[in-house]
Amino acid sequence: MSEHIHTSIANRTGTIVLDRPRTLNSLSLAMVRAIAAALQAWRDDAAVDAVLIRSSNDKAFCAGGDIKFFHDVGTTGPMGGSALLEDFFTEEYALNHLIHFYPKPYVALMDGVVMGGGMGISQAGPRCRLRVVTDKTKMAMPEVNIGLFPDVGGSYFLARAPGQLGNYLGLTGLTVRAADALYVDLADCFVPQERMEALMALIEATPGAGLRAAVEGFAGAFKGQQGASVLEAERATIDRHFGAGSVAAIMASLARDEGVFAQKALAAMKLRSPLLMCVTHELLKRGAALDLADCLRLERTLVRHNFEHGEVLEGIRALVIDRDNAPQWKPGTLEDVTPEMVERFFEPVWPASAHPLRHLA
């Protein structure tokens, strides 16, 4: 189904390998469909006891969705409309839901870059997941960089991060490493990248029924070796600033703090879309009170409004197409963002009975 997804079954473990190294394994619609097809087939297959998902290379697990594809298809139709674009987000979010509730152990080797959509295919639910990070892991939910918002269930798992860490990650889009991923509960265990070859040998020799326990046991030898967590050290600072009631209040609070950490966060936010930061802030607030299915349905609504507005298309243009790094956000300043502009993103697009993700439970 996709030349960039390789699937196999060995020793009662179903393995999915992402193999699109030139784009850091960014997800195409065909890749989403291939992953979903494999997981659906293995879900009820008595010959498969566990699933492993990994990359073919050590540079990236998955850098997210194929944003060049988003721009290409999003600019072909009126108001950013495209059947392929609609299909991508509907099927990607359905895949995120499938992974979260997978009935068998789901082991993700999150080596290298893990961002956006890569988080969506690795953040399985607590009953099935084992998320392995390395010293080369670079993790982020960077959607605000391109005028989008944290999707693929980000409104669910960021909203449940301790304290204000979810707001920090969602509003700044900044990258964190293994120690921070473990601290925020976006990863479960650490293995040095130089030991990944040995881990793969263990995985290949282990029957699927014992896969999760074997990987946990292997990683146990490196517990505490991931280094210090910057987010843990700065937790009080993060909670103080990002607990303010609005994006404007957060940025004002950061501006009063001369510390290096606060100023780095502020500098990042100054580059982001003012409107989409406000949308993200509201999304995480709402997501805290919703289950995963309703979070994904809400995100699907926001995606439609976002492409109709055009902010994400402008962000991708500036970052990837023209590479001028000078997006013309609308509106251009935080002061010009009104509550009505934010609220419009949350207006229902479909009746509940016709929502493309109405089947999620």
Question: Tokens for 204?
Answer: 């290949």
Place of tokens 């707001």: 167
What is the set of active-site residues?
A: 65, 117, 143, 151
Alpha carbon 310 to its chain centroid, in Å, reads: 21
Is 335 buried (19+), middle (13-18) or exposed (0-12) by CB count in 10 A? exposed
Q: Which runs of E-coded beta strand occur in the chain?
A: 5-10, 13-18, 50-55, 60-62, 106-110, 113-115, 129-133, 138-140, 189-190
Q: Alpha-carbon distance 173 to 165, whole Å?
A: 12
Is 210 in contact with 152 (CB distance < 8 Å)?
no
How many other CB atoms are there within 10 angstroms of residue 351's CB atom? Answer: 8
Is 19 in contact with 60 (CB distance < 8 Å)?
no
CA of 84: how far to CAs of 30, 75, 160, 224, 320, in Å?
Answer: 11, 12, 31, 45, 20
60-62 vs 13-18, strand pairing mode: unpaired
Query: Tell me, what DSSP letter sits at residue 28?
Result: P
Query: Tell me, what DSSP letter sits at residue 27?
Result: B
Residues in contact with 11: Cβ distance below 8 Å, sequence separation at least 6, in sequence order = 204, 205, 206, 207, 208
> Residue 12 region, left (φ>0) first, then alpha (ψ -120 to 50), else beta?
left
Question: Tokens for 279?
Answer: 């949308």
Place of tokens 């500036």: 318
Which residue, 360, 356, 358, 359, is CA-closest to 90? 356
